[in-house]
Amino acid sequence: MKRFVMALAAVFALTLPLSAVRAEEGKAMLGKADVSIEVKDGVYFVTEQIQLLHSNHAPDGKLEHTISKLNGVSAENLHISTGNEDLTFEEQDGDALQKVFVQMPEAGSDTFDYSISYQVALPDGEYKLPLFVPMYAAEKGENLVHISFQAPEGMIVQPNSFPIVIENNQNRVESHMINLPSHVSYLFGETAPFFNSHTLISAATLVILFLILFVWARVERRNARRGA
């Protein structure tokens, strides 16, 4: 009986991953995304190269996307294509989000690669840029999203941007993420300021550490006097 239970448990363990894989294959998933952003004369030029897995499971062959309405800005000159073929799409306006449904070609494959390009003009002093986000979870837990940002000529991307900027004093930066964010916020200027979120956090940490050591030293000195 014990052997039978162990054998049954082994069979269950072997079949569980297969069923999980089959479940994942039953819905569209984000395979990877490559986002390129460049700023020219105050206008953001965005190109998103997206790959979807199991795309033929999308209802009616329509791929759902959303873009946030931040500070009243909107995407202009929207163009969606796959290879040399332009794709048709439907737009639905909402209070906080705009939905875009992209129609795949009839002879679609299980893996679908397509491109979304558009332009956004942000007001002066505003840096939050909304992105088109496919409404499909990313495959696995890897950094499948690559984002590159090119600041205007002569400008430096600031450390307190989002996604977090690792490189210092750079005109062009890159980030890798697990999922495509609803927006990015790359701050840039002619010089990198000494005080930013990273330096302030570091300074606050040092101050707290100093206070802890100061209090500890006073307690130790007081105890030493009492012992004497």
Read off the CATH number of the domain in which 128 is found.
2.60.40.1730
In the predicted model, is pLDDT for residue 21 greater than 60?
Answer: no
Question: Domain check: are 144 and 182 in the same one?
Answer: yes
Question: Domain check: are 68 and 124 in the same one?
Answer: yes
pLDDT, residue 145, reads 97
pLDDT, residue 165, reads 87
d(CA 228, CA 226): 5
CA triple 34-99-132, angle to 5 deg: 15
Give exposure, 87-111, as e/b (b: 16+ Cβ within 10 Å): bebeeeeeeebbebbbebeeeeeee
CA triple 208-214-220, angle to 5 deg: 135
In the predicted model, is pLDDT for residue 19 greater than 60?
Answer: no
**Nearest CA-CA partner of 44 in 120, 116, 118, 115:** 120
In the predicted model, is pLDDT for residue 156 greater than 90?
Answer: yes
Residue 18 belongs to a domain: no
Residue 17 belongs to a domain: no
Q: How many domains does the chain have?
A: 2
Question: Domain check: are 85 and 142 in the same one?
Answer: yes
Q: What is the mean pLDDT of the chain?
A: 82
Question: Domain check: are 165 and 209 in the same one?
Answer: no
Amino acid at 5: V
Question: Domain check: are 96 and 162 in the same one?
Answer: yes
Question: Domain check: are 76 and 169 in the same one?
Answer: yes
pLDDT category at 20 given cuts 50, 70, 90 is: very low
Question: Domain check: are 144 and 58 in the same one?
Answer: yes
Question: Domain check: are 95 and 180 in the same one?
Answer: yes
Residue 108 belongs to a domain: yes
Q: pLDDT tens digits, residue range 189-199?
A: 986 544 444 44
Mean pLDDT of 142-170: 91
Mean pLDDT of 2-11: 47
Question: Domain check: are 138 and 161 in the same one?
Answer: yes
CA triple 187-152-113, angle to 5 deg: 85
pLDDT, residue 53, reads 93
Residue 1 belongs to a domain: no
In the predicted model, is pLDDT for residue 31 greater than 70?
Answer: yes
Name the percent of the chain lying above pLDDT 90. Answer: 53
Residue 16 belongs to a domain: no
Question: Domain check: are 148 and 85 in the same one?
Answer: yes
d(CA 57, CA 166): 38
In the predicted model, is pLDDT for residue 10 greater than 70?
Answer: no
Question: Domain check: are 135 and 213 in the same one?
Answer: no
Residue 149 belongs to a domain: yes
In the predicted model, is pLDDT for residue 39 greater than 80?
Answer: yes
Place of tokens 């600031």: 158
Residue 20 belongs to a domain: no
In the predicted model, is pLDDT for residue 85 greater than 60?
Answer: yes
Residue 66 belongs to a domain: yes
- Asked whether 87 and 50 are in contact (CB, 8 A), the reply is no
Structural domain of residue 213, as residue ranges? Answer: 194-228
Helix, strand, coil shares, percent, the chain, to 5: 25, 40, 35
